[in-house]
């Protein structure tokens, strides 16, 4: 088994990129903003490093900043020198206790090129999802009853998911929005596996390593089969004693799967440590950043993101953009800022499956995550600007439409809830995937 630690995957961006300090008054569409003149938290931008793609972004930059640093090589338009050039700053040595994680190389996720191909790959993803869902329901049932677990079938499930993500990661991530409270634990494990595989593929993991990480992600909450149902499904806040019982699921899952003798150490480490945090405040062993392998942190991020964006017995799902911002706010203590930024680059500021309202008030579902057009993704248009449902959804590439001079109309205004949209987006997703609508419950 190949090494799955920081040494192999601590990759820094290279090159001799040159940054230009520019007054915000001279910024233009197409320039790549590499750094701001103030901390990110003081601005509405999710994180630094983006191509200016709308007049709205220009207005926001001018409202919040006096100057920015523009990357000449990554800009799509010529950059006039108004101030002296400055070389890209060297990376500082990580502080003690922080994981050695740098910005990964750009590994674009595979995606479909049109609605027809997207529908085809989404249907393949739907079949893999249903196979995985049935397996997880059974394995959680068997584990709760004390029966032996079929790890070979788990490996087959992960292989199928890896194949789907290697064909079209966006189609697989799109279907993670198909959630049900009555199947939360098993569907959560499936969603975390899909999100982790997409993220780790983006980070550069391949082959056997990806399989192993996926196996740990798929079974990361298997220990909850040992948690009393009255605690697992309690609608209110847990007491201190109840939370102590709940926290045991990480160690319980590790012990349960270790006894099989059939899981690689990295997969076992994921099961045991997915609630650890780099500042030592996690559980169950209080590990610090330099004691946590990158795959463990990747699963931990996917775990938190899916939990925050899911309806639970004790809280409503949080909008995807708000969840990402909150994760970014706590990144320094939880997972490391650079790794959280990488996750956001992977899933997109408007993650695949997000329900969004456009500038012209049309409503659609985000279909892909491309960091080169992160604010202007492709959207499956479901509702027209006049508020009427479309008879057939239509794929719209917001970056292409905006380049035609229709920036204000085709910019994403905000993420909205299904209640505000007036329809259940899961139905649209399942229709595209060729899945039975009855499965929604």
- Token look-up 């919040």 returns 64
Higher pLDDT, 85 or 164: 164
Q: What angle do CA 176, 178, 180 make, to 5 degrees?
A: 120
Residue 9: per-residue pLDDT = 30
> What pLDDT was estimated at residue 196?
97
Residue 420 has pLDDT above 50, yes or no: yes
Q: What is the dihedral angle through the alpha carbons of 179, 182, 185, 188, rounded to the nearest 10 degrees?
A: 0
Alpha-carbon distance values, 8 to 200, 276, 410 (Å): 13, 21, 41
pLDDT at 168 exceeding the cut of 80: yes
Cα of first residue to Cα of last residue in the chain, in angstroms, is 42
Report residue 212 as tokens: 């192993």
Report CA-CA distances (Å) from 136 to 153, 184, 188, 198, 221.
Answer: 10, 11, 10, 19, 11
Q: What is the CATH number of domain 115-347?
A: 1.10.3210.10
Predicted confidence (pLDDT) per residue in 308-320, tens digit: 998 877 778 888 8
Task: Please say whether the beta carbons of 330 and 41 come within 8 A.
Answer: no
pLDDT for 83 beyond 70: no
Q: Pick the closest to residue 182 from 126, 147, 236, 137 (CA basis).
A: 137
- Tell me if 67 sits within 8 A of 28, measured CB to CB: no
Give the model's pLDDT for residue 87.
Answer: 44
Sheet holding 18-23, edge to edge: 50-51, 32-36, 67-71, 18-23, 85-87
* 254 backbone dihedrals φ, ψ, rounded to 5°: -60, -50
What per-residue confidence (pLDDT) applies to 307? 92
pLDDT at 106 over 50: no
The secondary structure of 112-177 as a DSSP string is: -SSHHHHHHHHHHHHHHHHHHHHHHHHHHHHHHTT----HHHHHHHHHHHHHHHHHHHHHHHHGGG
What stretch(es) of the chain map to CATH 1.10.3210.10? Answer: 115-347
For residues 53-71, average pLDDT: 83
State pTM to two decimals: 0.77
């Amino acid at each position: 088994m190949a090494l799955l630690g920081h040494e192999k995957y601590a990759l820094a961006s290279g090159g001799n990129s040159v940054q230009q300090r520019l007054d915000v008054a001279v910024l233009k569409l197409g320039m790549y903003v590499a750094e701001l003149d103030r901390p990110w938290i003081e601005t509405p931008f999710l994180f630094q490093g983006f191509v200016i793609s709308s007049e709205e972004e220009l207005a926001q930059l001018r409202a919040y900043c006096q100057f920015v640093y523009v990357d000449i090589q990554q800009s799509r338009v010529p950059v006039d020198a108004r101030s002296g050039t400055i070389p890209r700053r060297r990376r500082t040595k990580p502080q003690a206790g922080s994981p050695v994680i740098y910005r990964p190389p750009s590994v674009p996720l595979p995606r479909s090129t049109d609605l027809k191909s997207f529908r085809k790959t989404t249907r393949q993803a739907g079949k893999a999802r249903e196979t995985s869902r049935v397996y997880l329901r059974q394995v959680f049932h068997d584990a709760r009853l004390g029966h032996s677990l079929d790890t070979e079938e788990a490996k087959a499930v992960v292989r199928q998911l890896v194949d789907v993500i290697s064909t079209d990661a966006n189609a697989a991530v799109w279907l993670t929005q198909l959630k049900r409270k009555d199947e939360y634990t098993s569907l959560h494990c499936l969603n975390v596996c899909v999100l982790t595989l997409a993220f780790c593929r983006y980070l550069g993991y391949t082959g056997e390593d990806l399989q192993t990480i996926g196996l740990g992600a798929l079974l990361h909450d298997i220990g909850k089969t040992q948690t009393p149902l009255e605690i697992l499904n309690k609608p209110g806040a847990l007491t201190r004693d109840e939370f102590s019982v709940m926290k045991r699921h990480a160690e319980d899952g590790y012990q349960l799967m270790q006894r099989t003798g059939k899981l690689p150490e990295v997969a076992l480490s994921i099961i045991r440590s997915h609630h650890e945090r780099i500042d030592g405040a996690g559980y169950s062993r209080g590990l610090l950043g330099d004691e946590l392998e990158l795959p463990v942190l990747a699963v931990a991020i996917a775990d938190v993101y899916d939990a925050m964006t899911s309806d639970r017995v004790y809280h409503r799902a949080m909008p995807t953009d708000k969840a990402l911002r909150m994760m970014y706010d706590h990144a320094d203590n939880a997972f490391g800022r650079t790794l959280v930024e990488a996750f956001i680059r992977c899933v997109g500021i408007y993650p695949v499956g997000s329900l969004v309202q456009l500038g012209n008030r049309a409503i659609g579902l985000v279909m892909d995550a491309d960091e080169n057009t992160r604010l202007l993704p492709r959207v499956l248009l479901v509702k027209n600007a006049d508020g009427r449902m479309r008879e057939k959804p239509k794929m719209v590439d917001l970056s292409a439409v905006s380049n035609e001079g229709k920036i204000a109309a085709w910019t994403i205004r905000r993420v909205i809830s299904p209640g505000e949209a007036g329809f259940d987006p899961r139905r649209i997703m399942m229709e595209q995937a060729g899945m039975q609508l009855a499965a929604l419950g």
